[in-house]
């Protein structure tokens, strides 16, 4: 496994791996973040569809929102940057519930949590690790699979992350969306999101949003040389060409060996035995 540069690009905070682009000072100061009651948080374990939901929200007509970069990314000047933003802020994050700034919980800000089949999530994160100069180089899927199982990847264990949010799945300020449901019926998911945000949109507007947020449309936009800095994709990531890979459900089958599938399923059954959210994945395993 080529993993030489891990310490220069990753660091551990409270036992969880973070990119060094999330400074320790910023992570330490998260609980000093002042949330606003109308803030919307877009939360996910990495590679679960954050950009997709952000693009959906960014295309809601007259939403009057401003998408920011992830709350945990950058240094301590991040909070000033967020303070300057006068519009309704849509703030992405990959933090687990336990690490979420306390003020967001106190103010009961709206939170959309997107979840994806962990097998597809692992494959997507493997590619991101392999191709992203800001993450430690990794050569093989087999090596990455072991790291993913141990939670030795950015933002820690998928299981711990999802379970931390599971406890809050019925909170009235939290909407849970599944990636696979978005793939099956995007218009229905868009309707759920707009209703949750309290924004009225017509059926024809929903169809328009669905067209604009198709995988091919988003991938083509990301590939354009001059990205408008106000565009969702530019606000969210500096590695936009790495984000839109395949956008498929079930790609894991092309990577998992029979043994890896067995090992994964055993761990999943053990860790998620009390999870209602986990039942959603029965059709996709």
Give me the residues that bind ligand PPS (CB under 6 A), please. 44, 46-52, 120, 124, 127, 213-215, 218, 243-247, 251
- By beta-carbon proximity to ligand PPS, the closer residue of 174 and 177 is 177
- Gyration radius of the chain's alpha carbons: 18
State in angstroms the smallest separation of the CB of 255 from ligand PPS.
11
Number of Cβ within a 10 Å radius of residue 63 = 17
Strands 16-19 and 40-44, sheet pairing: unpaired
DSSP 183-196: HH-HHHHHHHHHHH
Alpha carbons 207 and 236: distance in angstroms, whole number? 24
Shortest Cβ 54–ligand PPS spacing (Å): 8
Would you say 162 and 277 are in contact if contact means Cβ atoms under 8 Å apart? yes
Distance in Å, CB of 55 to ligand PPS, minimum: 7
Which of 94, 127, 161, 274 does the annotation list as catalytic? 94
Based on CB atoms, which residue is closest to ligand PPS, 83 or 224?
A: 224
Query: Which residues neighbour 79 within 8 Å (Cβ) at sequence distance 6 or greater?
Result: 29, 32, 33, 34
CA atoms of 33 and 100, how far apart (whole Å): 10
Q: By C-beta, is 50 or 157 nearer to ligand PPS?
A: 50
Return the exposure string of 245-260: e unless at least 16 CB atoms fall within 10 Å of the residue's CB, then b. Answer: bebebebbeebbeeeb
Query: Cα separation of 261 and 267, whole Å?
Result: 10
Closest to ligand PPS by CB, 38 or 215: 215
C-beta of 251: minimal distance to ligand PPS in Å?
A: 6
What residues contact 97, with CB distance under 8 A and at least 6 apart? Answer: 164, 165, 167, 168
State the minimum distance, in angstroms, from the CB of residue 37 to ligand PPS: 25
Kindly report the number of other CB atoms within 10 A of residue 218's CB atom: 20
Nearer to ligand PPS, 38 or 181 (CB): 181
51 carries an active-site annotation: no
Which residues are identified as catalytic? 94
């Amino acid at each position: 496994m080529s993993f030489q540069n891990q310490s220069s690009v990753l660091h551990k905070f409270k036992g969880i791996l973070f990119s060094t682009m999330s400074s320790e000072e910023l992570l330490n100061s998260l609980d000093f973040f002042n949330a606003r009651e109308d803030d919307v948080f877009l939360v996910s374990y990495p590679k679960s569809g954050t950009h997709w939901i952000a693009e959906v929200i960014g295309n809601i007509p007259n939403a009057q929102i401003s998408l920011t970069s992830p709350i945990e990314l950058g240094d301590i000047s991040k909070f000033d940057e967020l303070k300057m933003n006068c519009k309704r802020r849509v703030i992405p994050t990959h933090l687990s519930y336990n690490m979420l700034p306390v003020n967001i919980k106190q103010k009961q800000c709206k939170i959309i949590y997107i979840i994806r089949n962990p097998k597809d999530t692992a494959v997507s994160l493997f590619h991101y690790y392999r191709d992203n100069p800001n993450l430690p180089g990794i050569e093989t899927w087999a090596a990455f699979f072991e790291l993913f199982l141990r939670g030795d990847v950015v933002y820690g264990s998928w299981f711990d992350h999802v379970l931390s949010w599971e406890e809050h799945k019925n909170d009235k300020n939290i909407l849970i969306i599944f990636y696979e449901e978005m793939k099956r019926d995007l218009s229905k998911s868009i309707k759920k999101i707009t209703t949750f945000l309290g924004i009225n949109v017509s059926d024809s507007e929903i169809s328009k949003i669905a067209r604009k947020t198709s995988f091919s449309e988003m991938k083509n936009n990301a590939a354009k040389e001059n990205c408008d800095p106000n565009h969702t994709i530019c606000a969210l990531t500096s590695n936009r060409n790495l984000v839109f890979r395949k956008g498929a459900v079930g790609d894991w089958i092309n990577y998992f060996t029979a043994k890896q599938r067995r090992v994964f399923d055993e761990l999943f059954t053990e860790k998620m035995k009390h999870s209602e959210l986990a039942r959603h994945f029965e059709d996709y395993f």
